[in-house]
Amino acid sequence: MKERYGDDLNWFERIVGVWRVNRDSFETKWGYFAPRFGLELGINRGGYFDQRYSVDVCLLWGMFNIKLPVKTSKPEGCEWDTYGFNFFEDSMIWRWGRSYRSWRLPFISWEFNHHKVRNTSGEWVPYVYDDKSTHRETHKYTYTLSSGDVQDRKATCYKEVRQWHRKWVPFIKMTKECISIDFNDEVGEESGSWKGGCTSCGYDLLPNESIKSCLRRMERERKF
C-alpha cells in the first residue's frame, strides 16, 4: 500500500479513525489494522511510546491492535510484555511476559536432513569445513559498478546440496543444489566502504548446470 495521510485519506478511513496508511497497515486513533493472514491473541502491557494496555487479535485474516483506556505502571520507553500466543511462519509461539516457548508445526515446518558437497571423484559426500577432497574450481569473475568501473576478481567455487523433509511427513522432501563462491576481494557497490562488499555467496544451480556456467549466469544476473 502507498503511504497516505491528511487530505489523501478517504471519507471512510477518517470515520473509522485512520490518521495514516503505511506500507502494510492502517494507523488509527485506537491502534492499527493490518490486512494479512494469521492467528494471534494476546495482551500487551505497555510499549515504547504508549503506557496503555493493548490487545492483539487476528482470526485467520485481519490483524487488529486495539489500545485500551487503561495505563500500566511501566514507564514510557520500556519494552512491553506480551501474554498470549501467535503463529509466525512455521511455528506457534506462546508468550507470558518476557518468557516464551515456540513449537515448529508438523506438516508445515521443514526438518533438516543433510548438507553434502561434490568431492574430486564426483560423489556427494557429507560437508566438512575446509575438506581438501572437495572439488573446487577457480574462475575469473567481472563485476561492473554503476559508476562504470570494472572489478576483476577470482571466484573459487564448489557444488553443494541441502535437503529437508516436512515434519512428520518424511517422504515430502525439498532439495536445493547450488554453488558456494568465495571471492579473492570485495565485490559490489559497497566495496571499500565501512559496510564492505560481498566476499562470499551462493547461487542456485539449474539442472545439469556446470560450476562455470552457473557462475557466468550469476555474473549476468546478480547485483551486489
- Does residue 77 surpass a pLDDT of 70? no
Count of domains forming the chain: 2
Please report which confidence band the pLDDT of residue 61 belongs to, taking 50, 70 and 90 as the band edges.
very high
Last residue of a domain, one of 104, 138, 169: 104
Question: In angstroms, rounded to a whole number, what is the distance separating the alpha carbons of residues 127 and 177?
Answer: 13
Q: Are residues 89 and 124 in the same domain?
A: no
C-alpha cell at 169: 511427513
Distance spanning both ends of the chain, measured CA to CA: 27
Q: Are residues 194 and 177 in the same domain?
A: yes
Residue pLDDT, tens place only, 132-156: 999 999 999 999 999 999 999 999 9
pLDDT of residue 2: 80
Please report which confidence band the pLDDT of residue 224 belongs to, taking 50, 70 and 90 as the band edges.
very high
- Does residue 48 surpass a pLDDT of 70? no
Opening angle at CA 104, ends 101 and 110, nearest 5: 150
Residues of the chain with pLDDT > 70, as a percent, come to 96
Residue pLDDT, tens place only, 173-212: 999 999 999 999 999 999 999 999 999 999 999 999 999 9
Q: Are residues 208 and 115 in the same domain?
A: yes
Q: Are residues 88 and 20 in the same domain?
A: yes
Last residue of a domain, one of 60, 81, 104: 104
Tell me if 1 sits within 8 A of 23, measured CB to CB: yes
Handedness of CA 41, 47, 49, 54 (dihedral sign): positive
- Does residue 5 surpass a pLDDT of 90? no
Q: What value does the mean pLDDT take over residues 67-72?
A: 85
Last residue of a domain, one of 104, 131, 150: 104
Q: Are residues 132 and 210 in the same domain?
A: yes
Q: Are residues 80 and 134 in the same domain?
A: no
Please report which confidence band the pLDDT of residue 81 belongs to, taking 50, 70 and 90 as the band edges.
confident
Q: What range defines the domain where residue 135 resides?
A: 110-221
- Does residue 14 surpass a pLDDT of 70? yes
Please report which confidence band the pLDDT of residue 75 belongs to, taking 50, 70 and 90 as the band edges.
low
Question: In angstroms, rounded to a whole number, what is the distance separating the alpha carbons of residues 169 and 114?
Answer: 16
